[in-house]
Structure 1
């Protein structure tokens, strides 16, 4: 990713996109990146522009009024510190396609979980789901029902990029198959936040009457993986696989603390639970056995997007494995 890649905030004038805008502002400050605020014009504005261009009517205004642009400028003007570079762009086309195009080369694209057209009962709007499934860059979806407002407000009101944010970065990891892009994104986020990466992996266990499905997962440091430990064999093997896979990231980010957790059964459920106190949950976009160009989002990413209590980053595979 280019060192001058922007953080993009997708807005539509709704309260949900205001939360996303503030989250994106904080991310741009932390990364020292430009903030690009993008709004896809509604259909009637796009029709007006097309009609004016076809009729060449000089009596009509050059541009259709864009109240969202005025709203954004008002919000940013009254808010806390801004990144050094801030741009606003009005886009045409469908929301997923317009954001897919502008997202090429972005550090991340941040959007709310629902827009103006969403029903209150929906956890994830159709546009958010489509963008998370197709954008060429990591997509951070900020939920409309933020359950840890204090942590979110602390991050939004930070005045310098060096101020740490509350909570860990939680990484959902399939040790054998999660692409490197996903791990790199999680560690980079933890580094700029000055926080810990908590790595969560699930292992399969045979059903047994004595198995307590909902036992809380244990966080085990690498030094606790001696042969005489008490972990069940499947858990110990998972932790060893994690340790091996994380070694290059530990070398690249020596100052980022790492916690490892292996849990039985349902990875998505554990990640949703962890999202209650996390600054960010990071998962890969695709099912591990699908190609990078697949448009079907993986089951874990799908479940976490729909049920997480905090921001979720869906990270695509930038290239197919060879």
Structure 2
């Protein structure tokens, strides 16, 4: 689907502090791209019978949704906002929200950890949207209330074995919009530490130097060919390519600590496995900044240089 500035940026709110942070990120994004903002809430406490009898909840401007009422009140009188509409949808967020992406250019929501491991667990809503929504999804992690100053840097994760033009196009476009640098991170395999949802495993022995150098040069050549049409299309974007041995998720998480946005691709959908790949999942769980997960059918540029 070709997405235009007329397609809204969706902010999914739930009344939580982290949801409010995601809303602020969505406001900034809508202003940046000149798009309307649609603020949505999935009313999971409505039962199925209530949902059937209140189809009007699916229209924007649901005045009796308490979460949206509070959001309206918080934004009332605030200047410099994009055009805003509100929508309340009956059902659980992990069922409702992914289906809303078809008519949006971007969806933004906050991560919500569960139990005593909030820093290691991403709520099912964020995982469901990142895995299934038709549009790119930005997940805003938990963080202190005050947002830090921007770093002026975006991070793009590239899989050298199967680079994805749609994800790369998204990252270059966002870097261009922000006047930001783009750091491209790509890993090549070696018997080193593996970054898992529970943290890094113990390091193993390094391969010999020449073999590692050959792997690095091969990967660098593949990435350079992949990036060429994008750098030609966005010559204003300053690009740094980091090719490093080891685990891709670990490198991306480390880079996220000094970035404004990490951009990663979603794996191609498998009929019986709609879940995210291990790298995407680990980055979402440990990131230090918002993460954009881009579906592969998003707008792309040609895969070969012109």
How would you bin the TM-score normalised by the shorter chain? Answer: 0.7 to 0.9
1:72 aligns with 71
In 1: Cα distance, 2:226 partner to 2:54 partner? 57
- CA root-mean-square deviation: 2.7
Does 1:299 pair with 2:295? no
Pick from 252, 273, 282: which aligns with 2:233? 252
Aligned to 1:99: 97
Q: Aligned residue for 1:180?
A: 165
Which shows bigger deviation, 240-249 or 73-82?
A: 73-82
Task: State the 1:194 CA deviation.
Answer: 0.6
Deviations 1:178-219 (A, max 9, x none): 32111111111111111011100000235798749xxxxxxx
1:189 and 2:174 aligned: yes
- 1:172/1:271 contact within 8 Å kept: yes
Q: Is the 8 A contact 1:40 1:98 kept in 2?
A: yes
When residues 285 and 92 of structure 1 are mapped into structure 2, their CA distance, relative to the original with a 3 A threshold, is: same
Equivalent position of 2:138 in the other structure? 140
1:97 deviates by 2.6
Q: 1:47-58 maps to which residues of 2 (within 5 A)?
A: 47-48=49-50, 50=52
Measured after TM superposition, the shift of residue 120 of structure 1 is: 5.1
Unaligned stretches of 5+ residues in structure 2: 56-61, 193-202, 299-306
Structure 1 residues 166, 29: CA separation in 2 closer, same or farther (over 3 Å shift)? farther
Q: Check 1:52–1:310 CA distance in 2 against 1; reply closer, same or farther (3 A cut).
A: closer
2:186–2:242 CA contact under 8 A, matched in 1: yes
- Distance in 1, Cα, partners of 2:273 & 2:91: 22
Distance of 1:103 and 1:274 partners within structure 2: 28
Aligned counterpart in structure 2 of residue 90 of structure 1, from 70, 88, 91: 88
Could you report, residue by residue, the CA deviation over 1:276-306 in whole angstroms, capped at 9, with x for unpaired residues? 11100011111x6x65995121110000000
Residues 147, 310 of structure 1: 8 Å contact kept: no
1:137/1:294 Cα in 2 relative to 1: closer, same or farther (>3 Å)? farther
The partner residue of 1:119 within 115, 139, 150 is: 115
Paired residue secondary structure (1:9):
strand
CA contact 2:44–2:93 (8 Å) conserved in 1: no
* Residue 232 (str. 1) matches residue 213 (str. 2): yes
**8 Å CA contact retained: 1:147, 1:276:** no
Are the aligned partners of 2:110 and 2:140 in contact in 1 as well (CA < 8 Å)? yes
Match of residue 296 from structure 2: 317
Aligned residue number for residue 3 of structure 2 = 2
State which of 22, 40, 43 in structure 2 corresponds to 1:41. Answer: 43
Unaligned runs of 5+ in 1: 54-62, 152-164, 213-230
Counterpart of 2:58 in structure 1 is none
- Give the superposition deviation at 1:114: 1.2
TM-score (norm 2): 0.81
Deviation of 1:65 after TM superposition, in Å, equals 2.8
Q: Tell me the residue number matched to 1:242.
A: 223
Deviation at 1:166, TM superposition (A): 2.9
Alignment CA distance shift 1:201-1:132 (3 Å) = same
- Alpha-carbon separation, structure 1, partners of 2:220 and 2:124: 36
Go from structure 1 to structure 2 and tell me whether the alpha carbon gap of 1:203 and 1:49 turns closer, same or farther (over 3 Å shift): closer
Q: 1:99-120 deviations in whole A, cap 9, x for unaligned?
A: 12211032110000018xx435
